[in-house]
Amino acid sequence: MRIAAVGTALPRHRYDQRTLTEYLVAAFGDERLGERLRGLHQNTQIDTRHLALPLEAYAGLTDFTQRNAAWLTAAQELGAAAIEQALQRAGVRPDEVDAIFFSTVTGLASPSLDARLLVRLGLRPDVKRLPLFGLGCVAGAAAVARAADFVRGTPRGVALVLCVELCSLTLQLGDRSVANLISVGLFGDGAAAAVVVGSEHRAAGVRIEATRSVFYPHTEQVMGWDIGAHGFKIVLSAEVPEVAKTKVPPDVDAFLSAHGLRRGQVVRWIAHPGGPKVLAGLQAGLGLSDDDLRCSWQCLAEAGNLSSASVLMILERTLRERPARPGDVGVMLAMGPGFCSEYLLLRW
């Protein structure tokens, strides 16, 4: 199985972090709270983020129905753009796609987004659709792993992965929790797609040698959403950086050991960034340098945390800017609600 190409799409509405923070200070309407927002957002190490809508449009979204409708419109545009780029880069026609794995955790639609894009993009009517919801930040890695599972049984097959996250449309101005104050300074909007092909397909790419999923029992409240009439309300525990630092490294070592490898043999690390504390915790736990996770830090600074789409954007950047030699080993990893993690062993 191989990842033949990755495509990305960011909304055209791009703002620096200070502009977004000051907008939120005014929107919350509490200067004392505003000072806390400024302090928290200065520590995110994020320079810019992209939003699905112009900043002035958010005041007009007064309920979940309006926010979700805006999500559906923007998600279709970004999703189509990411898929078209990925297919073009892979040299694969839309009618060659056998299955599509679609993930989001920031909007709801039935029929799901993949169904709404099927005719628009020229996918076959018999394409297998697997919409995924609830995996959050781990979904980019998990969807690629599940796509690899599919093409393992279909050696000439093509599986398409699409992740669309429009985190700005989950804005909760009535939530004054620390988790929400952090999240409104951390998450951004974007989409990413990957083309995964079977071992007998003509398209070249990075080989997926193995995958592993890990679930940590009794951690369901560490990360996720409280979903109700209000829409999506963030659940984000202060435990996440410590989980990244202490739980992920032994899991990585066990995963590599099962395939006769050690951590020091990994040349490329494609790690979902989470936030600066999560990424720093992961970096410390794995004993990595800033350069090892350079693409993760850069994507965080330039676009924020894009939930499921982030790890694919980091993979795209790694493929574009950090070419590896034949035989080099890489690890792609992400964490998400559950609490859980997903690992892919890659070889160039």
End-to-end, the C-alpha distance of the chain in Å comes to: 12
Q: Is 108 left (phi over 0), alpha (psi -120 to 50) or beta?
A: beta
Q: What are phi and psi of 37, to 5 degrees?
A: -60, -45
Catalytic residue among 137, 163, 299, 340: 137
Q: Give every CB contact of residue 77 below 8 A, 6+ residues apart in sequence.
A: none
Nearest to 192 by CA among 50, 347, 47, 337: 50
Could you confirm whether 137 is annotated as catalytic?
yes
Pairing mode of beta strands 340-347, 206-215: antiparallel
Residue 225 CA: distances (Å) to CA of 51, 182, 283, 327: 20, 14, 26, 40
Contacts of residue 132, Cβ cutoff 8 Å, sequence gap at least 6: 101, 102, 103, 139, 142, 143, 146
**What are the distances in angstroms from CA 308 to CA 30, 42, 90?**
32, 24, 21
Partner residues linked to 236 by β-bridges:
223
Just list the catalytic residues: 137
